[in-house]
Every structure is written in structure tokens, then in C-alpha cells.
């Protein structure tokens, strides 16, 4: 970890602005918090600050509100955090302005204030310097602990660092150390599992990771483009025809570097893209015209499991099948169960892969489940995370 963390600065009595990621899923009907994992992940940083007599000011976004709307308020997060901390979390009506500055000034040591949704202001995503300065006026120090937004240069992630001493919280430290070790100094054999719908979303990840892994398992919708490159007919499945050549180049690169690149041998197909579709298992050479590839088949599950059981480090990003439909979850669930049983370093990229692990109740069985989908992708691509780069170096 080359960046300073909250351990490296004196926070006693200071007003500390902490960028957290409370962009949590809500129940559609009630607005209640459906999964508080991201709030829980912020607790080590918040508790450390409270234990060290800081005055804690939290800020976050929630969703993509078009205006100030009640359903996008962070009030439920303040209530939940109060329960988790066992103390009151004060809630501001806004995130900038004279009234908010007064609330921040009046905070006592060991108290917590949560600001209202940053994205009620369009200036947040525009990284507007005036908005960033308004946030900075609330505090003496800035701590970024929102890994899920680290790939974005917004006012509350990058802009504010120009006006306050800025360091990382414990969650960002953990994310960077776990994934950094996996990419730079993994226990071997090192295997990556790449799923998800489109190869175009993962090209940079695949390019970067092929220089590091011993084996690469390709599944999800993107496998159809690889199989198309091998002249298989994929029926009605989404094939990115303009990326077939890219898929072939990646397979050639893997072969040249001695990386075992494994593609599905059999698949579950459906007669329509629907939760209630008729389905069957076929070999990849026998996908019926007009049918959709929805999941990997049992032979492929066995092949992938054999490879994974040899591995000492595994990174997984992207669902194996159409996980949102119950009958096409078997591949994702099987791979998750295998990883949960291994004596290996198992790292789950954020986004929908993390959601599936959470739904299965296997988070505690993995070495690390990332809180950031886009951020973890950017990190796996080997690219700079602007919100991390902006923090002070050790």
C-alpha cells in the first residue's frame, strides 16, 4: 500500500470528512435496505475514527436521482448505521451550505453526521471545483473509503483532495492489498474466471490478466463470442460479431504464453430468453437454431471444478449464466460452491458476481468479496483509479 491511511495521520479532535459507499440496494416496495453489506464494510474506519476522538462527517451517493426525491434520501442509511454503531447518527438535510457547515462545526468528538445524497447536486458527478470546495469547508481532513466509486473522478472522490489532506480508509486499503497481491505476487497456480454478457466489457481485463494467470476459464454470455471464433453455431445467443477476431487473438495469446484457456464443452440452452423457457443440455456443437445459450452444462462444471481444485489463487468476475433466472443459476452456484470449499485465496469481483455470492450466503467462505464492480474491473485492467491516485503518498 503506497498511499497514506488513517493510521498515518492525527485525527484527534479533527473534523474528518469520510467518503463512504452507502449506495445500497433498497426494497422496491418499501424502500427498506435490502442488503447492508456496504454499510457494514465501512464500520472499521468509522469506529477507528470514533475511538480516536474524531468528529466524523460521512458523505455518499445513492442511485442516480434526477432531483431531490424522498426515495433517494440517505435517511435509512443513517438509521441503520445508528443501529450498527449503537449511537445516534445525525442526518443533514443537504451536503453543502451554511446550515450543513454549522452542523459540522457543532459536532463534538466521537459524534457522527451523515450528509444528504451527494447526487442531489449535478456538480458532484461533474467534479465541479466550487462544489468540492464547499465539501472541503466542512472538515480538516478527508478520508476516502468508498472503493466502489474509486474509478470515478467526482467532486467527493477526487475533487475534494485538492483542498484537504487526503488518505485512505481501511476498506480501500483492504481492497488494494488483497487484489494487488493476487495480481502482483499470487500463490500459484493462479486461475481467473471471466463471465458476464459481453467480451467488449472485459477485453482490457482479459488482456491484462493473461500476462499473470496460469489458467483462464471463460463462461457467461461472452463465451459465445469465443465459441463463434472456433466456428461453432451459437443459435440466437448474443455474439459480438465485431469482437470475434479479438476473441481469436486472445486465444492465440493464451496459447503463446502457455495459459490454459478453457471454454464450455456443453451448455444449457433455452427456446426463448425467459425465466419459464423450455431448456435442455447440449454439446457446444449442437446448439439448436433459434435457441439461446443460458448456462454451462454439467461436463463443463466438472471440467472447471477440476481446474479450480488445482488452484491456489482464484479471481472471479462475472456470472457464469443468466443468474437472474432461477433455472439458469446452476453454473454460477456450482462454481461458487467449489470456491467456498477450497483452501485457496478466492477473490470475487464486485457487481453481480458479488450479489450472487451474497444471495447464496457464501461471503464468509471467500477470502475477499469486492465492494466495487466498476472499480474492481478497472483495477483488474491494470488502470489507474483516479480517486486512489489523488490520495497522499506514504
Same domain for 265 and 168: no
For residue 388, what is its C-alpha cell? Answer: 486512489
Q: What is the pLDDT of residue 339?
A: 97
Closest C-alpha to 222, from 208, 253, 201? 201
| Sign of the Cα pseudo-torsion (68, 72, 76, 78, in order) | negative
In sequence order, the 6+-apart residues with CB closer than 8 A to the CB of 65 are 72, 117, 119, 120
Same domain for 246 and 150: no
The partner residues of 313 in beta bridges, in order of sequence, read 190, 345
Selected catalytic residue, list 198, 260, 299, 365: 198
User: Does residue 386 form part of some domain?
Assistant: no
User: Under a CB-based contact definition with an 8 Å cutoff, are residues 319 and 196 in contact?
Assistant: yes
User: Does residue 339 form part of some domain?
Assistant: yes
Q: How far apart are CA 218 and CA 220, in angstroms?
A: 7
Same domain for 194 and 127: no
Q: What is the pLDDT of residue 381?
A: 86
Q: How far apart are CA 373 and CA 360, in angstroms?
A: 18
Q: What is the pLDDT of residue 78?
A: 97
Same domain for 162 and 193: no
Q: How far apart are CA 66 and CA 334, in angstroms?
A: 40
CATH number at 70 reads: 3.40.50.1260
38 is catalytic: yes
Q: What is the pLDDT of residue 28?
A: 85
351 is catalytic: yes
Q: What is the pLDDT of residue 203?
A: 87
In sequence order, the 6+-apart residues with CB closer than 8 A to the CB of 145 are 18, 19, 20, 21, 42, 45, 168, 169, 170, 171, 172
User: Under a CB-based contact definition with an 8 Å cutoff, are residues 307 and 335 in contact?
Assistant: no
Per-residue pLDDT of the chain (394 residues; tens, 9 = 90+): 899 999 999 999 999 999 999 999 898 888 899 889 899 999 999 999 999 999 999 999 999 998 888 889 999 999 999 999 999 999 999 999 999 999 999 999 999 999 999 999 999 999 999 999 999 999 999 999 999 999 999 999 999 999 999 999 999 999 999 999 998 999 999 999 999 878 888 888 899 999 999 999 999 889 999 999 999 999 999 899 999 999 999 999 999 999 999 999 999 999 999 999 999 999 999 999 999 999 999 999 999 999 999 999 999 998 898 988 999 999 999 999 999 999 999 999 867 888 889 888 999 999 999 988 788 888 888 899 999 999 999 9
Selected catalytic residue, list 3, 14, 19, 38: 38
Which range of residues forms the domain containing residue 263?
A: 186-380
Number of structural domains (the chain) is 2
User: Under a CB-based contact definition with an 8 Å cutoff, are residues 196 and 221 in contact?
Assistant: yes
Grid-cell match 477440476, residue found: 306
Q: What is the pLDDT of residue 1?
A: 81
Phi-psi label, residue 254: left if phi above 0, alpha if psi -120 to 50, beta otherwise: alpha
Selected catalytic residue, list 159, 196, 351, 373: 351
Same domain for 130 and 106: yes
Same domain for 267 and 345: yes
Selected catalytic residue, list 31, 63, 374, 382: 374
Q: What is the pLDDT of residue 372?
A: 83
Give the burial class of 393: count Cβ atoms within 10 A of its Cβ; 0-12 exposed, 13-18 middle, 19 or more buried. exposed
Amino acid at each position: 500500500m503506497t498511499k497514506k491511511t488513517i493510521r498515518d495521520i492525527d485525527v484527534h479532535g479533527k473534523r474528518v470528512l469520510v467518503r463512504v459507499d452507502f449506495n445500497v440496494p433498497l426494497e422496491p416496495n418499501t424502500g427498506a435496505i435490502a442488503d447492508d453489506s456496504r454499510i457494514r464494510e465501512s464500520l472499521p474506519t468509522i469506529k477507528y475514527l470514533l475511538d480516536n476522538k474524531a468528529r466524523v462527517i460521512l458523505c455518499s451517493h445513492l442511485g442516480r436521482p434526477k432531483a431531490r426525491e424522498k426515495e433517494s434520501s440517505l435517511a435509512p442509511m443513517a438509521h441503520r448505521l445508528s443501529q450498527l454503531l449503537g449511537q445516534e447518527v445525525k442526518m443533514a438535510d443537504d451536503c453543502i451550505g451554511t446550515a450543513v457547515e454549522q452542523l459540522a462545526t457543532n459536532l463534538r468528538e466521537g459524534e457522527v453526521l451523515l450528509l444528504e445524497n451527494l447526487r442531489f447536486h449535478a456538480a458532484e458527478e461533474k467534479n465541479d471545483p466550487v462544489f468540492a470546495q464547499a465539501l472541503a469547508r466542512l472538515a480538516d481532513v478527508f478520508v476516502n473509503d468508498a472503493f466502489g466509486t474509486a474509478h470515478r473522478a467526482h467532486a467527493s472522490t477526487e475533487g475534494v483532495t485538492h483542498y484537504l489532506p487526503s488518505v485512505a480508509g481501511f476498506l480501500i486499503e483492504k481492497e488494494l492489498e488483497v487484489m494487488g497481491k493476487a495480481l502482483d505476487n499470487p500463490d500459484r497456480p493462479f486461475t481467473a474466471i471471466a463471465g458476464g454478457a459481453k467480451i467488449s466489457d472485459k477485453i482490457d481485463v482479459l488482456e491484462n490478466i493473461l500476462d499473470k494467470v496460469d489458467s483462464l476459464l471463460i463462461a457467461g454470455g461472452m463465451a459465445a463470442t469465443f465459441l463463434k471464433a472456433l466456428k461453432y453455431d451459437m443459435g440466437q445467443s448474443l455474439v459480438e460479431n465485431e469482437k470475434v477476431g479479438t476473441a481469436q487473438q486472445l486465444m492465440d495469446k493464451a496459447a503463446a504464453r502457455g495459459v490454459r484457456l478453457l471454454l464450455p464443452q456443453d451448455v444449457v440452452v433455452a427456446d426463448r430468453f425467459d425465466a419459464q423457457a423450455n431448456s435442455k443440455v447440449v454439446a457446444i456443437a449442437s446448439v439448436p437454431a433459434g435457441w439461446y445459450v443460458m448456462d454451462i452444462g454439467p461436463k463443463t462444471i466438472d471440467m472447471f471444478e477440476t481446474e479450480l481444485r488445482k488452484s491456489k489463487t482464484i479471481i472471479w468476475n462475472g456470472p457464469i449464466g443468466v443468474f437472474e433466472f432461477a433455472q439458469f443459476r446452476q453454473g454460477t452456484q456450482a462454481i461458487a460452491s467449489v470456491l467456498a470449499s477450497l483452501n485457496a485465496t478466492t477473490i470475487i469481483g464486485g457487481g453481480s458476481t458479488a450479489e450472487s455470492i451474497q444471495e447464496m450466503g457464501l461471503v464468509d467462505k471467500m477470502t475477499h468479496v469486492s465492494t466495487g464492480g466498476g472499480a474492481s474491473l478497472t483495477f483488474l485492467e491494470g488502470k489507474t483509479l483516479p480517486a486512489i491516485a489523488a490520495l497522499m503518498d506514504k
